Amino acid sequence: MPSKFSVFTYAARGLSSHWNHVKLGPPDAILGITEAYNRDTNPQKINLGAGAYRDDNGKPFVLPSVKEAESLLLAKNLNKEYAPISGIPQFCDLSIKLALTDQSSRIKNRCNATTQTISGTGALRVGGAFINEFAEQKHIWMPTPTWGNHKPIFT
């Protein structure tokens, strides 16, 4: 079957100068809190940045409820098949009911579309691209404060 793409092999090291003109984006202020925490030598410091729970030794702490949920999933012996393109239907149905309540007129009147994505930022990117392509009015409302990567996703 003919391909629409040309396939090349290359030495990755040789491409580094190809992207030298691309400027780095601004540092993320919230992730910068963790970077500052890592540089701080005060033994009584507390990490107020985003991330996983940590124990007194700075090691990731997995909540007992998360461990229990993992055990329940493992016991179900689920298959490892790919999900449909828009996600696992039951997950999507339960997610929108959690977000809007199962009494929502939006759900009852089938005025919503729900899809499963790999991450919050990924969801915003996919949603933004959809709005940009198909919506007549292209308005995005963002809370203050918000994550530093949210605005660039939509601009």
Q: Please report the pLDDT score of residue 6 as a whole number.
A: 53
The answer to whether residue 38 is domain-embedded is no
Please indicate, yes or no, whether residues 55 and 89 belong to a single structural domain of this protein: yes
The answer to whether residue 3 is domain-embedded is no
Note whether 34 and 50 are within 8 A (CB): yes
For residue 4, pLDDT beyond 90: no
CA–CA separation, 144 and 134 (whole Å): 27
Q: Please report the pLDDT score of residue 10 as a whole number.
A: 54
Please indicate, yes or no, whether residues 136 and 106 belong to a single structural domain of this protein: no
Please indicate, yes or no, whether residues 99 and 151 belong to a single structural domain of this protein: no
The answer to whether residue 33 is domain-embedded is no
Q: Please report the pLDDT score of residue 42 as a whole number.
A: 95
Please indicate, yes or no, whether residues 126 and 154 belong to a single structural domain of this protein: yes
53, 56, 77: which is closest to 66 by C-alpha? Answer: 53
Please indicate, yes or no, whether residues 108 and 135 belong to a single structural domain of this protein: no
φ, ψ (nearest 5 deg) of residue 54: -130, 150
* Per-residue pLDDT tens over the stretch 27-40: 777 788 888 988 99
Burial per residue of 95-124, b for 16 or more beta-carbon CB atoms within 10 angstroms, e otherwise: ebeeeeeeeeeebeeeeeebeeeeeeeeeb
CA–CA separation, 98 and 30 (whole Å): 27
Q: Structure pTM?
A: 0.55
Please indicate, yes or no, whether residues 59 and 106 belong to a single structural domain of this protein: yes
The answer to whether residue 10 is domain-embedded is no
* Candidate from 48-57, 81-90, 108-117 with smallest mean pLDDT: 48-57
State percent of the chain over pLDDT 90.
Answer: 30
Q: Please report the pLDDT score of residue 2 as a whole number.
A: 52
Who has greater pLDDT, 6 or 51? 51
Instruction: Decide: helix, strand or coil at residue 60.
Output: strand
* Per-residue pLDDT tens over the stretch 78-104: 888 899 999 999 999 999 999 999 899
Who has greater pLDDT, 113 or 39? 39
- Give me the number of domains the chain comprises: 2
Domain coverage including residue 95: 51-116
Please indicate, yes or no, whether residues 65 and 101 belong to a single structural domain of this protein: yes
Q: Please report the pLDDT score of residue 23 as a whole number.
A: 83
126, 127, 120, 129: which is closest to 149 by C-alpha? Answer: 120
